[in-house]
Chain A
Amino acid sequence: MTDPVVHAAVFYVLAAFTVVGAGIVALSGNIVHSAFALFATLFGVAGLYAYLSADLLAVVQMLVYVGGISVLVLFAVMLTSGLSDTGHTNPAFRLAGGIAVLLAVTAGAFVAASAVPTGVESAVAPTTGAIGDALLGPFVLPFEVVSVVLLAALLGAVTMARGWKKGGAR
């Protein structure tokens, strides 16, 4: 599959899927629709990883973001009361909107200035072994630090969820 037209077509289909999903996340009036669109966006990103021959990254994206984060977001949204009440307006909208536009313009300028990689020329090579070696070789310290941070977050979440009764007793 070396045809550049096909390569570009696959890339633009995946990119359009991701961007349209992201658009629905931001613009939908129904927050549950936004949550489902977020799933579509994350799925599209996994597709882009697979397209760029990053097989392990694509599957991990599926496992962590599509199977984990997406479901968590959906749970949070569905357990929230007043779902259909979309009349709220963020008081900081002007400031946030300005920053968002600024970021979008900056990102757009970067994209315009850089060459968009549309696929790698080499055949799909397995990346799992190389990533494993890297994680337990040169990057072992960052890897361990991240795991300690995650452990701290986990303990913090458990402590907060347990709550405190009056008088200091749990």
Chain B
Amino acid sequence: MLRDVATFLERLLGFDPATFDYSWVTAVVVIGAASLLAFVFIALFAGPVTWWERRIAGRIQCRIGPNRVGPQGVLQWLADGIKCFLKEDLVPAAADQGLFRFAPYLVFGGYMATFAVLPFGANLVAADLDVGLLYLLAITGLVVIGILMAGWASNSKWALFGGIRSAAQLVSYEIPSAFSLMSVVLAAGTMSMQGIIGQQGAWPWEWFVFKNPFLFAAFFLSLTASVAEGNRTPFDLPEGESELVAGYHVEYSGMRFLWFMFAEWGNLWVIATIATVCFLGGWQVPGVTPAEIAASTGLAFWGWQALSFAVFVAKASVLVAFVIQLRWTLPRLRVDQLMITCWKYLVPGALLNLAGVLVLLAVVPDQGVADWAIRGATLFLGLALASVFVWKARAGYLADRDLYRRMEGKELWYPPYRLP
């Protein structure tokens, strides 16, 4: 097929096949295929995850959620997508036409561009850049500019407020996010995404999150900052419905609105992936090293790819579910609280954390007795926290069930494991 494309181009452009260098055609085709795959992945992730989120929200708010389109409502996202396709593409008369039309693509392009370095499995990555993590932080700039552009070009005060709030938030939270990811770079000694994964192991005690207490704290700092950068509750001031209607995308309709929504839910995956890669060992499969996977051939190679992909998706999905639950559990912060959280707590906290990581890296020799003792203690701390989380969730459910039984005289309308 590649050869066909090359032959076609050669006939079209009249190059001499004997001297013509095909490598750039290959490069263009490979880049195109990788972009298309990433786009398909975003579409197949962002769509169903909206349904998933709405079902979780329904459960948390004691209602059902979308369950009409398809079995249990799983096709709701398709219905929403088709609806948005068919809607009229409105541009307000007073809007800045060109910028208004262009802004959604800039926002979506900014999120799309992160997929260039995000790994999906052992060898499943579009470009394992040497500066991968820094690139991830830098490319967010496109999103900020796009949001400002959307807010300004709409020529509506709500949209402008939303845009400026969002840009201020993104720029502020980039600092704690960068500092906490810097501690990972220090621990790994590289900024390449695959390199960071390679420095960790498959078992939890080999992950960076449990390497020492400071990296454990950095995990939560980075996750908080990412959630804020993704404009999600409790940090979703930019689209505060009660005061701003819908923020920077209030004037958009149809497909252009859908690009913003795409970017917002696609970003859930980006948040989960960064945390998985930097702290949770990425796609590593127990019992096999990355070098062994790269050396395998044929069916075994593809088997390892599939297995590592499954491991990665499983870890990321847990984080996605956690972030969704966070959204429907916590109330929204006020603007001043948002800025105080960032500048008075997260930024100094991240700096102290960085100093702590540096000291521990310098003092404690890697793989020594002290190192393993610290790892063990941190892992114990993490497991204790996780058990408290699960136990509290269970206690909340039991309390609800008893209350319902006492008030209504019958069982809760459905148990937590069954969908209505």
Q: Which chain A positions have C-beta within 8 A of B171? A: 67-68, 71
State A3–B9 Cα separation when bound (angstroms).
Answer: 15
Asked if B291 CB lies within 8 Å of chain A CBs, one says: no
Q: Would you call B23 and A67 a contact (CB within 8 A)? A: no
- Contacts of A1-59 to chain B: CB distance below 8 A: 1-3, 6, 32-33, 36, 39, 55-56, 59
Q: Which chain A positions have C-beta within 8 A of B141? A: 62-63, 66-68, 70-71
Mark interface residues in B134-169 (1 if CB within 8 Å of A CB, else 0).
Answer: 110111111011001100100000001000100110
Q: Which chain A positions have C-beta within 8 A of B144? A: 67, 71
Q: Is the interface of B mostly helix, strand, loop or mixed?
A: helix
Number of interface residues, chain A, beta carbon within 8 A: 25
Q: Which chain B positions have C-beta within 8 A of A68? A: 141, 171
> Contacts A59-B134, A59-B138, A62-B138 known; A67 to B174 CB distance under 8 Å?
yes
A30 CB to nearest chain B CB (Å): 8
Interface residue from A3, A36, A55, A75 paired with B131 (Cβ < 8 Å): A55
Q: Would you call A128 and B164 a contact (CB within 8 A)? A: no
Q: Which chain A positions have C-beta within 8 A of B174? A: 67
Asked if B277 CB lies within 8 Å of chain A CBs, one says: no
B269 CB to nearest chain A CB (Å): 21
Q: Which residues of A contact B (CB under 8 A)?
A: 1-3, 6, 32-33, 36, 39, 55-56, 59-60, 62-63, 66-68, 70-71, 74-75, 78, 126-128
Q: Which residues of B contact A (CB under 8 A)?
A: 20-21, 23-24, 27, 96, 99, 129-131, 134-135, 137-142, 144-145, 148-149, 152, 160, 164, 167-168, 171, 174, 191
Q: List 5 A-B contacts (CB under 8 A).
A: A2-B21, A59-B131, A62-B141, A71-B144, A126-B130
Contacts A71-B171, A78-B160 known; list 19 others, CB within 8 Å. Answer: A3-B20, A3-B21, A36-B99, A36-B149, A39-B145, A55-B131, A62-B135, A62-B139, A63-B137, A66-B141, A67-B144, A67-B171, A70-B141, A71-B141, A71-B145, A74-B148, A75-B164, A128-B131, A128-B191
